[in-house]
Chains A and B, each alone.
Chain A
Amino acid sequence: MVSRPGLLPRRTGALSALLRSLSGIGMAIAVFVGMWALLVHQFQIPAYMLPEPAGVWQALLSHRAKLGRNFWFTAQSALAGLAISTTFAIALALAFINSPAVARATFPLVIALRTVPVIAVAPLITLMVGRGFATSVVVVTIVSFFPLLVNLMRGLGAVDPGMVELMRVCGAGRWQQIWVVRVPCALPYFFAGLRVAGSAAILGALLAEWLTGMKGLGYLIIESAELRETELMWVALFIGMTMALVVFAITSAAERATLHWKR
């Protein structure tokens, strides 16, 4: 394969690329808000269907304490759930790589977990662990575990057999092999998994809060929809989607940054 020297000195180009993408995002937002305001104004859309951008901005300012509190709750539960599922996925993937027996014993369970429809069992989780933080964390863990595990296993297995052979010839131990060869090779896969898992985690947290109905952006969305506080609902919706997009962007960047290992 042709070596591409442009791949390594990425760090200098990263900042300008970031600025460029940021300005692109800013322009997209400006165009979006402009079209939105024009649409509402032109067609006289009633506020309950689509409030004006100014009204939504106003709602953001006047409810900022409430929004901040609920945002923080959602972010915390998504992060806690992601941390748990990442830990489990890494441990399980390493166990699978090291021992086929463990893989055979636990894989049916993992598949069973995968086929459980979260929407259907979320009420059970709520019932068992209570209305609040724990339910969100469990739901987030369930929805984010599987993409992480699949990608980690694929990544740990995607290593060039020649490299493993070389390590063995040089007398490297099993953990040395994993740490020096398999982990760097698995990193891009891990971040690709985290990209899927991260968005799923935010949405899973929203879903759980919707059901538990105590705290969080999901609760805020459903409550403001029921109270017909449309502006607040839109703010909460935007914050939730922005969270998912930010997670997506960060993990995509991390995936690209670690790709140079995988030439």
Chain B
Amino acid sequence: MRRLPVFWLPLVTAVLLLVVAEIAQRSGLFPITVAAPSQVWQVLVGNPRLFGETVVPTLQAALIGYLCAAAAALAAASVASLIAPAWTPIYRFGVALSSIPLTATTPLLVVWIGNGLSTRVLIAALASYFPILVGAMQGFRAFESTSAELFHVLSASPLQRLRLLVIPASLPLLFAGLKIAAPSAILGTILAEWAGAERGLGVLMIYALGAFDVPKVWFAVTASCLLAAAVYALAAAIEMRVVRWQAATVLED
């Protein structure tokens, strides 16, 4: 019974706020730069192709970039945990990559590799690499040293050690990184789309701003925020499944 209000209260508040915004806009209380919720909804419903031309390309580039970043970060973290001297250089390189200000260098990357999909994928990957790397690197050594000794005493094979000790222990930290990185990939893609692309939410933002199309700007912004929140929620949902399974096996042991 106590869990019900936790979920319902924000929802009711959000709906109420939307209704108030709608009424306030219709009665002219808001400046013309604020779109009514119904107008924003009309943007989505009135143009059947809009969703496929804005949300889908952004999501696609962000997803590819995110997966590339995850693969690269996991590989780098594995190398770092296997070869002790490589730990610091890999971490330093990650820090250097993350300290490149994407805001300043995205135009440069667009000049270098063009305004195709690969640029957006690269920028999404750059935006999401570091959190995943930190999560994976810390996760891969988060196992308890006593458990590691037990594996050693029982002469577990390296594969067994990896599968039964290192990976289960790494999951909470790994997912902490994966969760933070997911919205970053979306925002990085939008940034790349500002610098030049044919379709996507970032492109819609620029065009709608240029045309002073208030409902479309609001749609683009709302869709971006919702998309960023949605990928975070998705990562969190996967985490809940995976880490709960992990906790269950630990208890069985």
Q: Are A207 and B103 in contact (CB under 8 A)?
A: yes
CB distance from A143 to the nearest CB of B (A): 10
B50 at the interface (CB under 8 A from A): no
Q: Are A124 and B221 in contact (CB under 8 A)?
A: yes
Q: How many positions in chain A have a CB within 8 Å of any CB in the partner chain?
A: 30
Q: Are A237 and B187 in contact (CB under 8 A)?
A: no
Say whether, besides A123-B217, A218-B103, A117 and B228 are in contact (CB < 8 Å): yes
CB-CB under 8 A from A49, the residues of chain B are: 111-112
Contact with B along A13-38 (1 / 0, CB 8 A): 00000000000000000000000000
Interchain CA distance A119-B190 in the complex, whole Å: 8
Q: How many positions in chain B have a CB within 8 Å of any CB in the partner chain?
A: 32
CB-CB under 8 A from B187, the residues of chain A are: 117, 119-120
Q: Of all chain A residues, which has the CB nearest B101?
A: A203
Say whether, besides A127-B214, A228-B111, A120 and B103 are in contact (CB < 8 Å): no
Say whether, besides A124-B218, A203-B101, A117 and B209 are in contact (CB < 8 Å): no
Say whether, besides A120-B190, A225-B111, A206 and B104 are in contact (CB < 8 Å): yes
Q: Are A244 and B107 in contact (CB under 8 A)?
A: no
User: What is the total of A-B residue contacts with beta carbons within 8 Å?
Assistant: 80
Interchain CA distance A237-B218 in the complex, whole Å: 31
CB distance from B97 to the nearest CB of A (A): 15
Contact with A along B212-243 (1 / 0, CB 8 A): 10100110110011001000000000000000
Q: Are B104 and A117 in contact (CB under 8 A)?
A: no
Say whether, besides A211-B209, A222-B195, A233 and B107 are in contact (CB < 8 Å): yes
Q: Are B104 and A240 in contact (CB under 8 A)?
A: yes
B147 at the interface (CB under 8 A from A): no
Q: Which of B110, B209, B220 contacts A225 (CB 8 A)?
A: B110
Interface of A is mostly: helix
Interchain CA distance A120-B188 in the complex, whole Å: 10
CB-CB under 8 A from B183, the residues of chain A are: 117
Q: Are B33 and A127 in contact (CB under 8 A)?
A: yes
Within 8 A of A (CB), among B2-57: 31, 33-34
A158 at the interface (CB under 8 A from B): no
Q: Of all chain B residues, which has the CB nearest A222?
A: B107
CB distance from B101 to the nearest CB of A (A): 5
CB distance from B14 to the nearest CB of A (A): 12
Contact with A along B194-214 (1 / 0, CB 8 A): 111000000001101100101
CB-CB under 8 A from A244, the residues of chain B are: 101
- For the A-B complex with A49-B112, A119-B191, A211-B209 known, give 11 more contacts whose Cβ atoms are closer than 8 Å: A49-B111, A116-B225, A117-B183, A117-B225, A120-B225, A120-B228, A128-B34, A203-B104, A233-B108, A237-B104, A237-B105
The 3 nearest A-B residue pairs measured at CB: A225-B107, A120-B224, A123-B205
CB-CB under 8 A from A241, the residues of chain B are: 101, 104
Interchain CA distance A30-B245 in the complex, whole Å: 56
Interchain CA distance A210-B205 in the complex, whole Å: 12
Interchain CA distance A78-B131 in the complex, whole Å: 27
Interchain CA distance A240-B105 in the complex, whole Å: 10
Q: Are A123 and B103 in contact (CB under 8 A)?
A: no
Q: Which of A206, A210, A233, A240 contacts B111 (CB 8 A)?
A: A233
Indicate the member of B103, B112, B190, B217 with the most A CB atoms within 10 Å: B103
Q: Are A128 and B108 in contact (CB under 8 A)?
A: no
Contact with A along B154-191 (1 / 0, CB 8 A): 00000000000000000000000000000100010011
Q: Are A230 and B105 in contact (CB under 8 A)?
A: no
CB-CB under 8 A from A117, the residues of chain B are: 183, 187, 224-225, 228
CB-CB under 8 A from B228, the residues of chain A are: 117, 120
Contact with B along A235-248 (1 / 0, CB 8 A): 00100110010000
Q: Are B33 and A203 in contact (CB under 8 A)?
A: no
Interchain CA distance A222-B104 in the complex, whole Å: 9
A126 at the interface (CB under 8 A from B): yes
Q: Of all chain A residues, which has the CB nearest B110?
A: A225
CB-CB under 8 A from B208, the residues of chain A are: 123
Say whether, besides A117-B228, A127-B33, A128-B31, A206 and B194 are in contact (CB < 8 Å): no
Interchain CA distance A211-B209 in the complex, whole Å: 9
